[in-house]
Amino acid sequence: QRRTFTAAASNYIDERTSLSTFVKELGRKAFPDHWSFLLGEIALFSFVVILITGTFLTFFFQASMAEVEYAGSYVPLKGVEMSVAMASTLDISFDIRGGLFVRQMHHWAALMFVAAIGLHMLRIFFTGAFRKPRELNWVIGFVMFILAMGEGFTGYSLPDDLLSGNGLRIIDGMIKGIPLIGTWTSFLLFGGEFPGTAIVGRLYTLHILLLPLILLALIAVHLLFVVVHKHTHYAAPGRTQMNAVGPPILPIYAAKAGGFFFLVFGVLALIASMFTINPIWNYGPYDPSPVSAGTQPDWYIGFADGALRLIPPGWEFVLFDRTWSFNILVPLIGLGLFIATVLIYPFIEAWVTGDKREHHIADRPRNMPTRTAIGAAGVTFYAVLWAAASSDLIATHFMLTMEGVIHTLQALLFLGPIIAYFVTKRVCIALQKKDREIVLHGYESGRIVKLPGGEFIEVHQPLDEYDRWRLVSYDTYEPLMLRPNDRGKITTGQRLRAGMSRWFFEDRIAPVTKGELEASHSNHH
């Protein structure tokens, strides 16, 4: 038999690397299918697009703040003094073939990247996919989320245009607002008085070397963990806590994911070619005096900008001949606490529920009303901060006073999450009740039948096996009970934990259990 070139080549490689064992093992792994599992992939594929386009940009971008007179082909700015960084970004946009397209693609991919990460994270949260054994992957993921925001911020600070300069000015102000060490820290970062001549070069090293390397390493570990833990799946016949049901990675899943990469790439290319993003030639070079109206950071930095706008002024006093300002420190600590809570949420929930089991079946969000309500409250908190980043635009568009908008948002920041918590919880419970009805009595058919005895009944349609698996819980868990310790005592810590556990499970209309289902069936018969 004649051996083809490919067979010979793969044999050559295999004899030297034993790669085939690995490929066989990995290729046979099952990868469960659901549209929401594509969110992580969109993040991954946008990152690949970012790497490709970013590398192109490094060939032409010059991270220098030396002053030059612009001499490129964009006429309105000819002769204007600007930094080399800005001039080279204008060159990328107007004088380098394909430059504007790649620049826009880099920026749009960055926006998509962070958006996909955010949605991916919400999917993980609301389905409880962060529970044992995936807690560490949640932490790694969240660290990547923060790094991605850092990448975005350092990225759009690079061109040294008016918008990026104003963004850096805010960061500088925040740093200087920290009592005692603020001014020194600012001088250290900027290499002297803001803006100095060093910051673009420093951010550049972070942007193209340090942060991407860390991200890349973490993504590798993240995906390795997805393979090691197996992917979660939604309940269905034959799917258990012990298996993963889906098409094998090779060839089906790999082909699908490969195709999906090109879709993501294509959509990003389409957006980049049709919609302008960051037209720095309209903003002009950075100059501390002008600020164009309605300027905003990229969407994912909005929440931090919003937090700054919502701080009530005047939290400062003079002591020991120094000004101690808490205008910045308090919200920074507040945001820090919020972020830290999200980071360790899997451990908090595990502690509160006392649930130490492994979970491979994803939750239906309604079956975990308290977690879902906490999530909704968190999203609302974030959304209010985000809205606050547009407080000036909200005021001008709706002809409101600036103070009115700010005060409303300040109140909403605290009331909104509470309202969202209770509304979400009630909605979840209502949906659970509906599920219960359906499981125990079947779907309403609208068909009324008269029995021989004269009684009218509505015929209910029994649900098929697939729906039953989806709706019935084979995996219930009870709140922690107060149990005396070895010395027969109940400590305050135990009381607190049991109380929180009861709160977590309270008014949970537990989904129908297997036992209930069987009981209802024998009744019917």
**Interacting residues with ligand HEM (CB under 6 A):** 37, 39-41, 43-44, 47, 50-51, 54-55, 57-58, 61, 89, 92, 103, 106-107, 110, 113, 117, 120-121, 124, 129-130, 134, 137-138, 141-142, 144-145, 148, 151-152, 155-156, 158-159, 207-208, 212, 215, 219, 222, 226, 231-232, 278
Measured from the CB atom, is 61 or 381 closer to ligand HEM?
Answer: 61
Task: Closer to ligand HEM by CB, 208 or 394: give it.
Answer: 208
H helix intervals, 301-401: 302-310, 329-343, 345-353, 369-388, 391-397
Which positions ≥6 away from 281 have C-beta within 8 Å?
74, 76, 77, 90, 93, 94
Which of 124/406 has CB closer to ligand HEM? 124
Report angle CA 127, 138, 145 to the nearest 5 degrees.
110
Please say which residue, 142 or 190, places its beta carbon nearer to ligand HEM. Answer: 142
CB of 47 to ligand HEM, least distance (A): 6
CB nearer ligand HEM, residue 145 or residue 505 = 145
By CB atoms closer than 10 A (0-12, 13-18, 19+), residue 45 is: buried
Least separation in angstroms between residue 277's CB and ligand HEM is 6
> Radius of gyration over alpha carbons of the chain, in Å?
28
Contacts of 183 (CB under 8 A, 6+ apart): 176
**CB of 250 vs ligand HEM, minimal distance in Å:** 16
Considering the complex, what minimum distance in angstroms separates the CB of residue 502 from ligand HEM?
A: 27
Structure tokens at 424: 């979400």
Alpha-carbon distance of 521 to 442, in angstroms, equals 11
> Rounded distance, CA 253 to CA 220, Å?
19
Q: Choose between 130 and 286: whose C-beta lies nearer to ligand HEM.
A: 130
Local structure of 31: helix, strand or coil: coil
Handedness of CA 110, 114, 117, 122 (dihedral sign): negative
Report the nearest approach of ligand HEM to the CB of residue 207 (Å): 6
Nearer to ligand HEM, 80 or 218 (CB): 218
Nearer residue to ligand HEM within complex by CB, 92 or 311? 92
Beta bridge partners of 285: 161
Smallest gap from Cβ 465 to ligand HEM, in A, equals 24
Least CB distance to ligand HEM at residue 98 (A):
13
- Tokens 């021989």 correspond to 452
Smallest gap from residue 65 Cβ to ligand HEM (A):
14
365 to 240, 319, 477, 478: CA distances (angstroms): 18, 51, 15, 17
CB of 24 to ligand HEM, least distance (A): 21
SS3 of residue 63 by DSSP: coil
Closest CB to ligand HEM among residues 226, 431:
226
Residue 141 vs 177, nearer CB to ligand HEM = 141
Could you tell me which of 101, 64, 102 has the C-alpha nearest to residue 84?
64
DSSP 163-230: HHHHHHHHHHHHHHTSTTTHHHHHHHHHTSSTTTTTHHHHHHHIIIIIHHHHHHHHHHHHHHHHHHH-
Q: How far is the CB of 282 from ligand HEM (least distance, A)?
A: 12
Task: Say if CB 32 and CB 238 are below 8 A apart.
Answer: no
| Cβ-based nearer residue to ligand HEM, 37 or 194 | 37
Minimum distance between the CB of residue 48 and ligand HEM, rounded to whole angstroms? 9
How many Å apart are CA 511 and CA 398, to the nearest integer? Answer: 45
